[in-house]
Amino acid sequence: MQGVITGFAIILAVIGVGVILSRTGVIKEDRERLVLNRVAFYAASPALLFTAVAQSDARTLFSPVIVVIFFATLATAAVYILSSAVFFRQDIPTTTMGAASASYFNSVNIGLPVSVYVLGEATYVVPVLVLQMVVFTPFILAGLGAEDAGGRNRVAKIADSVRTALLSPVVIGSALGLLVAVVGLEIPDPVMRPLEILGGASIPMILISFGASLRNTAPLATPADRPGTLLATGLKLVGMPAVAWLIALGMGLPEEQVYACVILAALPAAQNVYNYAASYQRGMIIARDTVFLTTFGALPVMLGIALLFGR
């Protein structure tokens, strides 16, 4: 588990840098902090996703594990949406961020070390990254933009936001990377290397902005968002792994693949969820707090899962 612990340590250290920069006045206002999110959303993250997906082996993009993660994501998000509708009614963007926080996990800077050091290979997490960015991200962005169309009816708003989401930089970058991987194109180094350097800035910028956002408000300090945050955290840490386990057992997968499904489902909420919320200025508190709580809570959960599977 050394790789997993290292992954968590890196994330917390960079978040700490954001906290220090905010408290020392280097990052003074939310406007300054959000510049980092916008640069990440429109430039660095698309470059990161393109290079990561383009260099993956297209033969590994389809496996029983990806099927389990797909249905576990849908089921977990549906539980959140239904619970929100019944117990604490939220607007569409906030509900979207709660559902995403509960089901969209960190498949890059924690998922990769988990896949390599805990599961023994990276072939499980790369297909999940593609699934998240090409399939789920457009719906998340559509939900975030669903209330931006003035007095138009809800169907028209959602249709407009879906079109906008499909043309967003992170989705285009992922789709182009998938095309390159499937076709087997060789991207020359003078093109790929600058993209890799730019993509390397994505995660640090998001994490620094995240840490700076903690300056004025502690997690769970906003009563209106507290129920949604607690539900999303519980679903992410316990609900989604349990659902993935049941689906994997129902499909009759071998124990190794069942273990991979459950471990991946227990990963914390992705920083990308917070970056989307910050870029759209919608549902930021619930996204930020769920990412924060699950980042701390996921490690003991994954250690417990490893013990249950005798690893």
CATH number of the domain enclosing 300: 1.20.1530.20
Hey, which of 76-80, 137-141, 253-257 has the most confident mean pLDDT? 76-80
What mean pLDDT comes out for the span 184-188? 88
Q: Can you tell me the distance from the alpha carbon of 175 to that of 163, in angstroms, rounded to the nearest whole number?
A: 15
CA distances from 291 to 236, 254, 303 (A): 10, 31, 19
Instruction: Write down the mean pLDDT value for the chain.
Output: 82
How large is the average pLDDT for residues 103-132? Answer: 70
> Which distant-in-sequence residues (6+ apart) come within 8 Å of 8 by Cβ?
110, 295, 298, 299
Contact between residue 70 and residue 264 where contact means Cβ atoms under 8 Å apart: no
Q: Is the pLDDT of residue 12 over 70?
A: yes
Q: How many folded domains does the chain comprise?
A: 1
CA distance 288 to 232: 11
Task: Report whether pLDDT(175) > 90.
Answer: no
Of the candidates 91, 93, 109, which has an alpha carbon nearest to the alpha carbon of residue 101?
93
Top-confidence residue, 163 or 236: 236
- Give residue 117's pLDDT: 57
Residue 113 scores a pLDDT above 60: no
Amino acid identity, position 53: V
| Total-model pTM | 0.75
Please give the average per-residue pLDDT across 8-30, as a whole number.
85
pLDDT digits 0-9 by tens, 214-236:
776 667 777 888 899 999 999 99
Binning pLDDT at 50, 70 and 90, where does residue 115 land? low
Mean pLDDT calculated for residue range 164-184: 81
25-81 tens-digit pLDDT: 898 877 888 888 889 888 988 888 788 778 877 666 677 888 999 999 999 999 999
Task: Give pLDDT, residue 171.
Answer: 77
CA–CA gap between residue 225 and residue 89 (Å, rounded): 11
162 band by pLDDT with thresholds 50, 70 and 90: low
pLDDT of 217: 65
Coil, strand or helix: which one is 258? helix
Give residue 150's pLDDT: 52
How high is the pLDDT of residue 119?
66
Q: Which two tokens stand for residue 124?
A: 């499980």
Q: What does the alpha-carbon distance between residue 10 and residue 254 come to, in Å, rounded to a whole number?
A: 33
User: pLDDT digits over 263-290, tens only?
Assistant: 889 988 987 788 788 888 888 889 989 9
Expressed as residue numbers, the domain containing 159 is: 2-308
Of the pLDDT bands very low, low, confident and very high (cuts 50, 70, 90), residue 133 is: confident
